[in-house]
Amino acid sequence: MQRLLWALVLLVLFSGSALADASWPYYGGDEGGMRYSAAKQITPENVDDLVRVWTFRTGDLDRRSSDLMHETKLEVTPILVGGHLIMCTPFNEVIALDPATGEQKWRFDPKIETEDVDPANNFNCRGVAAWTDPQGATDAICAQRIFTGTNDARVIALDAKTGTLCTAFGDKGQVKIDPGMPLRWPGEFQITSAPVVIGSVVVVGSAIGDNARVAAPHGTVRAYDARTGAEKWTWDPVPRDPKDPAIASWGEGWKTAGHANVWAPMSVDTARGLIFLPTTSPSPDFFGGLRPGDDHYANSVVALKGATGEMVWAYQIVHHDVWDYDTPAQPTLATLDLPDGKRDVVIQGTKQGFIFVLDRDTGKPVFAVEERPVPQGGAPGEALSPTQPIPTHVPALVPQSISASDAFGLTPWGRGACRDWIAKARNEGLYTPPSEQGTIMFPMTGGGINWGGVAFDPVKQVVYANTSRAIHLITLFPAAKYDELKKQFPHKEVSPQRGAPFGMMREVMLGRLGVPCNPPPWGTIAAVDLKAGKILWQSTLGTTEGVAPLGLALNTGMPTLGAPLATAGGLVFIGAAADRYLRAFDEASGAELWQGRLPATAQATPMTYEWKGRQYVVIAAGGHAQMGIAPPGDSVVAFALPAPGESGPSLWSRTIDRPGGHFILNLVLLGVGLSLAIWLGVRGWRAVRLKT
């Protein structure tokens, strides 16, 4: 009898598992952001048969002005909950789609202000969060809710089935956040990343405009009751209580400094009741003389109790940041099989190209991290940290120094110009302080691993990470010269850092023809064996097709924004690059196996799910204003293997719609055009001769 009962239990479990669809209920796939799916229908053997099965357009290209669309970033990753694929647009419209067809099921528009608004962070929404009320009836209105944050600092609760406001939450369905001080422009304080929910608490961070002022909005993390919208707790990364021991790491700066905000996605460990935050640099980014000390808890990975906001631990990635080296990505929660047993960890990628691995309970490094001396001699009044934490187990995924002899250019003149430019700057490697001379920052502030974060395969115990490689030149100038330099350099980033003795100018070091001064690859994707501390493979990511004349697709790699997706099928999917493709790489070798053509570039993270027995891979394709990638787009695209009776990829998609294909097509069209022009010219010349 006992064996029969166990057999029935196993039958139920396995039949349920077989029938259940591999889903994607959180922004990062699971609440810990592994960006991994157990779906395995698509494999290295059949990936080249993928076809585009549906495309959904938000309609923004048709409804919004061209100028407004060039201020947008479609960085969203949809989630699959309640039978709907749910996403948000850069203008914070929340849309539910049919997972099989991409047909719109409902739409909610919060009607954010778009006229005469010039937000420094642009219009952006990376994702939404879902919550099911365990106390509510399953068929009740708002028993399952969608939470979203907005560019105008609201937290909104919607019914997951209909998209209508959950009026019991806050003020008729929304909570308006008070930044605590007047904003200098409407977009100085935004919510751009998806909220997280732990228990019955919804938590949001904020994106705050950089480099405007010392006394900037606080980077407070806020938590609300998921049912009522009542504030549950707040946590400010900058300690404000004189009794807090962390005050000693700020001098008097804690009284005025803002930021250290959490603009990137957060993670949740429900079993531990913890949320994990990636905090950023204090204000202003490039001068810290008014906040002497290490500046705890800025530039850190922080664990808070989800119910109360009480800090459990914090680990600082950068001491006294004056480089805008935010902790930029979602902390990824994983379990490693180490020699002494399983260990729950937090994996944190950084702009510097480092991967930190921290114990999830204590925040202490699992693998060795050394405090190493770094360059000193900052600007007058600066108070640099003498050391910085450097992981030694896993090699950095990007170069962290460059010399004038390394300069790159397509011509001897271009290379020479870059060589001279690098030679004139202050350049002592990673953590060289900003200066009036102009300081090389390599990797740049948008380089290394950015907001997309990493993917982790829990079976193979491998991390996949994409990186960008370019140089920033950071030049300080006396604050009184701001107006003069802003007028002199209207197309460069010139920021006042009001309240500090220095303003700042930041520019990407591009040589003639707009080519980076550092050698390629400019974008890569890598696989890292965390346990062994070994880079297994590294492949270039992206071509020049989107920026070169005639679509010339040189395999140089391109700067990337977005993240990879790992699957049990043995593939890593990623968009992210500055050409119009979703790519699939072999998990084992790093070989690029497939490219799917998109309507626009995809500075977003793909997701995948199984729906009614079919695996779909979905990515947003909308271009990116800050990367200068044009034209913008408004599409979400789904790929799948052909269903029974459907045809596979066309000859066109297998040849022309691949990197390099459009260059060949353009050459053919150019040749035809030139031939036609010559033929018409000859005919015209002959006609003239006959008449004369």
Whether pLDDT at 276 is above 80: yes
For residue range 481-516, what is the model confidence (pLDDT) as tens digits?
999 999 999 989 999 999 999 999 999 999 988 899
Mean of pLDDT values over 275-285: 97
Report the pLDDT value the prediction gives residue 9, as an integer from 0 to 100. 32
Mean of pLDDT values over 339-355: 97
* Model pTM score: 0.94
Q: Which of 631, 618, 514 is nearest to 87 (CA)?
A: 618
Q: Of the given ranges (191-195, 258-262, 664-668), which has the lowest mean pLDDT? A: 664-668
Whether pLDDT at 17 is above 50: no
User: 271-305 burial by CB neighbour count: b if 16+ within 10 A, else e?
Assistant: ebebbbbbbbbbbbbbbbbbbbbbbbbbbbbbbbb
**For residues 192 and 198, what is the distance between their CA atoms, to the nearest angstrom?**
19
**For residues 129 and 25, what is the distance between their CA atoms, to the nearest angstrom?**
8
Q: Within 13 A of 228's CA, how many CA atoms are on the CB side?
A: 4
Per residue, what are the HEC states of 448-488? ECCCCCEEEECCCCEEEEEEECCCEEEEEEEHHHHHHHHHH
Q: Which amino acid is at 132?
A: T
Report the pLDDT value the prediction gives residue 15, as an integer from 0 to 100. 32
Report the pLDDT value the prediction gives residue 7, as an integer from 0 to 100. 34
Report the pLDDT value the prediction gives residue 678, as an integer from 0 to 100. 83
pLDDT level of residue 75 (50, 70, 90 thresholds) = very high
324 classed as catalytic: yes
Q: CA distances (Å), 570 to each of 18, 26, 460, 529, 586, in order? A: 19, 22, 10, 15, 6
For residue range 45-74, what is the model confidence (pLDDT) as tens digits?
999 999 999 999 999 999 998 888 988 999
DSSP letters, 531-548, are TTTEEEEEEE---GGGTS
CA 483 to chain centroid? 32
User: What's the whole-number average pLDDT of the chain?
Assistant: 93
Whether pLDDT at 328 is above 50: yes
Is residue 575 a contact partner of residue 653, using CB atoms and an 8 Å limit? no
Beta bridge partners of 610: 615
Whether pLDDT at 689 is above 50: yes
Mean of pLDDT values over 670-678: 78
Whether pLDDT at 658 is above 90: no
Whether pLDDT at 337 is above 60: yes
**For residues 512 and 491, what is the distance between their CA atoms, to the nearest angstrom?**
17
Q: Which one of 30, 295, 321, 324 is the catalytic residue?
A: 324
Whether pLDDT at 676 is above 80: no
Report the pLDDT value the prediction gives residue 112, as an integer from 0 to 100. 96
**For residues 660 and 228, what is the distance between their CA atoms, to the nearest angstrom?**
54
Q: Which of 468, 654, 409, 659 is nearest to 553 (CA)?
A: 659
Using DSSP's 3-state secondary structure scheme, residue 423 falls into: helix
Report the pLDDT value the prediction gives residue 62, as an integer from 0 to 100. 94
Report the pLDDT value the prediction gives residue 117, as an integer from 0 to 100. 63
For residue range 633-653, what is the model confidence (pLDDT) as tens digits?
999 999 999 999 888 898 888
User: Is 687 exposed, middle or buried (CB count within 10 Å of its CB: 0-12, 13-18, 19+)?
Assistant: exposed
Q: Which amino acid is at 650?
A: S
